[in-house]
Amino acid sequence: MKKLFIPFILVLVAAGCNRSPEKNTTEQTAFTRPLTPREISGGRLTAEIMWKFWRISDPQVSPDGKTILFSITQYDAKLNQSQTHIYSVPAGGGDIKQITHGNGHRTHARWVPGNNRIGYLSDENGKMQLWECNPDGTLPHQITSVKGGINAFGYAPTGDKLWYTHDVQIDKTTEEIYPDLPLANVHIINDLMYRHWDHWEDGAYSHIFVARYQDGKISGEKDIMEGEPYDAPLSPWFDDAEIAWSPDGKVVAYTCKKLKGRAYALSTNSDIYLYNTDKSETTDITTTNPGYDKYPVWSPDGKRIAYQSMATPGYESDKNRLMIYDMTTGTARDMTTGFDQNAGSMVWSRDGKNIYFISGIHATYQYFVLDVASGKISRITRGDHNFTTIALSGDRIIGEMMSMSMAPEIFSTDPATGKYEQITFVNKHIYDKIHLGEVRKRWVKTTDNKEELVWVIYPPGFDSTKVYPALLYCQGGPQSAVSQFWSYRWNFQIMAAHDYIIVAPNRRGLPTFGQAWNAEISGDYGGQNMKVYLSAIDALKKEPYIDENRLGAVGASYGGFSIFWLAGHHQKRFKVFIAHCGIFDFESMYTATDETFFVNHDLGGPYWDKTNKIAQRSYATSPHKAVQNWDTPILIITGEKDFRIPYTQALEAFGAARLRNIPAKLLVFPDETHFVSKPQDAILWQREFFGWLDKWLK
């Protein structure tokens, strides 16, 4: 079963915002329980309060630039459920209005071209279908009735067509192979990629359908990938931003990785395809590039396509180049040859002269602009925050913004000055009742005499005359910056609220510090990037307000691997460890993970290739080979549906710890993946997390 892409929701306390939050209001719903006096006693952020945050996503600007649609997801931890509804707010700021109502989820709001209506996805009847309503929410009615539901949709700019994605069964099911055994339950596997991220492959593939659209009715649906055993958008995220209509409504550009089995597992080679609706013909425009090509965005005149591209095959964290493909000449040009950072979330200016995009710089994510004619790239915004989405409203940029001190909200930015104003304040009722810790920036000298940016987060009401325990935070990714993100689980403010000082270094192997810094981790997991972790904690523990005898280290994914590695090499710096979904044994990881290209690039190749010096160096530093040095209590956490770092890695690590008689605890979540996302599971996660830390550090 394919899933509608829901972006990770991350947000910011807007320094310098000058719009009054008193102007912005949202209606309370019966689904959202208000904060109780017990919850807000002490004014500290807790896991229970975190699940009462309203989570904003997917802002969409109206054609006239005056109104913004967006979604808010609300959770009820007691019910262990969520609801999502669509809201609107004036682009210049003002009162928020709820558009959709009822139980379930109403998401993916889009403006209907040439029609004063809104399209959206609704699961009102059990499966997601396209619905439409008036901008005030009146006259809602169902448009599609596709068996099994649809996952995403997009209107043609001309208003006479639309596309939608739907799962199509291509490969034979077990019941089709053995019709006389209808109760048999087995995965029959003939090749690699039999499971991906969080789901077993079932022979169904996400396909794009195009249809005529008129007066709220669709007809003539056609599968433009008929018979093809491939997914579009790409698995496992199925991001609908990988599909785009041409301005004249005649061509659909889409991303697809047309490989199967072993070839798919070994390659990152996705391409951008153009499907001509008049001719029913498909053309691949990125055949010469062996790496990822994604996210096509048409110029206003339809003569060019901007897209993201990675040049190195098998390297999923290579530089994201901003390419422009010329429809007339059939050639592509790299517009970021002199730009040492990534480019993403691109949008053309209305005159086609500029492309606005998001890029990272020193562990923040900012707006940039490319002058297409000259190739000049200029930075628009500054500050300690992350912009995560981008759209245009007249002469302003609209998008979500977040930080380590605020969940995502919608902001409006002047591209000429870089000044921004906050438009939504959906969690003001929570911020008014809690106190957050201060976030400071430090630059620390590394063992090889380079500078490393370290975020330090202090407890609310921090007193420099007192002494606090500290936590070294080890980032996952592996190539994912410790930026100004807001997490609903790995949340620095919750950690600080428990009176811990958090030390969060941007180790080697993280973006926003240039491609060399980002690439250095590959083939060297146990190398300099581990030394810079220790540089950070060694520098901070010298502060008089940090107790060097009460240090802990925590991390997930690559951060979980980091904990397992540090456990064998920390030389008694730490008193406690927590590892979530980490790699323990490189050899068993190599053949059990889903995307083989990842371990090929990051570890250097298979462990049986004894002539490969890079690979052999990697496997020599596998954490399980230093278990004889483990001497520190460790909490290990995993999800049974994690297929990227299979949960057996956690079982192996826990078994090793207990057989060495080291105090250890194991949490296995049967229904969770690489992330713990269900409300009550996540609250339990937090309680166990801090219970373990408090036991050994306080």
Picking from 403, 371, 372, 404, the residue whose alpha carbon sits closest to that of residue 387 is: 403
Mean pLDDT of 26-48: 70
CA–CA dist 42, 58 (Å, integer): 34
- Where b means 16+ CB within 10 Å and e means fewer, 278-309 reads eeeeeeebbeebbbbbbbbbbbeebebbbbbb
pLDDT digits (tens, 9 = 90+) for 67-85: 999 999 999 999 999 999 9
Three-state SS sequence of 628-661: HHCCCCEEEEEECCCCCCCCHHHHHHHHHHHHCC
The residues assigned a catalytic role are: 557, 642, 674
Q: Which of 97 and 19 is assigned the larger pLDDT?
A: 97
Phi and psi, residue 579, nearest 5°: -120, 125
Sheet-wide strand order for 161-169: 152-155, 161-169, 204-214, 217-223
- State both tokens at 521: 């981790």
Largest Cα–Cα separation, the chain: 75
Q: Are 25 and 96 in contact (CB under 8 A)?
A: yes
- Where b means 16+ CB within 10 Å and e means fewer, 650-666 reads bebbbebbeeeebebbb
CA–CA dist 429, 445 (Å, integer): 41
Kindly list the distances between the CA atom of residue 384 and the CA atoms of 441, 536, 564, in Å, as whole numbers in the listed order: 9, 20, 31
pLDDT digits (tens, 9 = 90+) for 443-459: 999 999 999 999 999 99
CA–CA dist 265, 316 (Å, integer): 12
Mean pLDDT of 352-374: 98
Mean pLDDT of 41-61: 93
The domain defined by 21-430 folds into Neuraminidase (2.120.10)
CA–CA dist 386, 402 (Å, integer): 5
Matching residue, tokens 């689904």: 31
pLDDT-based confidence at residue 42 (cuts at 50, 70, 90): confident
> For 190, which DSSP code?
-
| Residues of the chain above pLDDT 70, percent | 95
Residue 354 reports pLDDT greater than 90: yes
Q: What region does 108 belong to: left with phi over 0, alpha with psi -120 to 50, or beta?
A: left
Domain boundaries, the chain: 21-430, 435-697
pLDDT digits (tens, 9 = 90+) for 483-541: 999 999 999 999 999 999 999 999 999 999 999 999 999 999 999 999 999 999 999 99
CA–CA dist 547, 575 (Å, integer): 11
pLDDT at 35: 72
CA–CA dist 276, 672 (Å, integer): 41
Neighbours of 15 (CB within 10 A): 11
Picking from 582, 556, 545, the residue whose alpha carbon sits closest to that of residue 657 is: 582
| Residues of the chain above pLDDT 90, percent | 93
Within 498-577, where are the H helices?
A: 515-519, 528-540, 558-567
Picking from 204, 179, 199, 201, the residue whose alpha carbon sits closest to that of residue 190 is: 201
pLDDT-based confidence at residue 116 (cuts at 50, 70, 90): confident
Q: Are 121 and 130 in contact (CB under 8 A)?
A: yes
pLDDT at 629: 98
User: Residue 133 pairs with which residues in a beta bridge?
Assistant: 118
pLDDT-based confidence at residue 125 (cuts at 50, 70, 90): confident
Mean pLDDT of 412-420: 98
pLDDT at 15: 33
Mean pLDDT of 93-116: 95
Q: Are 206 and 238 in contact (CB under 8 A)?
A: yes
Phi and psi, residue 629, nearest 5°: -95, -5
pLDDT-based confidence at residue 31 (cuts at 50, 70, 90): low
Q: Are 560 and 656 in contact (CB under 8 A)?
A: no
pLDDT-based confidence at residue 676 (cuts at 50, 70, 90): very high
Alpha-carbon Rg for the chain, nearest whole angstrom, is 25
| CB-side neighbour CA atoms (13 Å) of 325 | 25
Residue 1 reports pLDDT greater than 50: no
pLDDT at 115: 85
On the 0-12 / 13-18 / 19+ scale of CB atoms within 10 A, 117 is middle
Question: What end-to-end distance do the CA atoms of the chain give, in Å?
Answer: 46
Instruction: Provide CB contacts within 8 A for 561, sequence distance 6+.
Output: 525, 555, 579, 582, 583, 584, 623
pLDDT at 19: 33
Cα torsion through 594, 597, 598, 603, rounded to 10: 120
Instruction: Provide CB contacts within 8 A for 165, sequence distance 6+.
Output: 2, 150, 151, 152, 153, 206, 207, 208, 209, 232, 233, 238, 240, 243
User: Residue 554 pairs with which residues in a beta bridge?
Assistant: 473, 578
Beta strands 576-580 and 546-556 are parallel
Mean pLDDT of 596-625: 97
Run of H or E including 613:
helix 613-620
SS3 content of the chain, % helix, strand, coil (to 5): 20, 30, 50
Per DSSP, the three-state class of 82 is strand
Peptide bond into 646 cis (omega under 30): no
Q: Are 89 and 70 in contact (CB under 8 A)?
A: yes
Q: Are 2 and 235 in contact (CB under 8 A)?
A: yes
pLDDT at 3: 43
User: Residue 669 pairs with which residues in a beta bridge?
Assistant: 639
pLDDT at 605: 97
Mean pLDDT of 324-331: 98
Phi and psi, residue 326, nearest 5°: -95, 115
CA–CA dist 382, 364 (Å, integer): 9
pLDDT-based confidence at residue 36 (cuts at 50, 70, 90): confident
Average confidence score pLDDT of the chain: 94
What's the CATH architecture for 435-697? 3-Layer(aba) Sandwich (3.40)
Q: What is the DSSP string of 225-282?
A: TTT----SS-TTT--GGGEEE-TTSSEEEEEE----HHHHHH----EEEEEETTTTEE
pLDDT-based confidence at residue 8 (cuts at 50, 70, 90): very low
pLDDT at 41: 67
CA–CA dist 241, 357 (Å, integer): 14
pLDDT at 10: 32
Residue 380 reports pLDDT greater than 60: yes
Mean pLDDT of 567-573: 97
Residue 39 reports pLDDT greater than 80: no
Residue count of the chain: 698
> For 352, which DSSP code?
S
Three-state SS sequence of 287-319: CCCCCCEEEEEECCCCCEEEEEECCCCCCCCCC
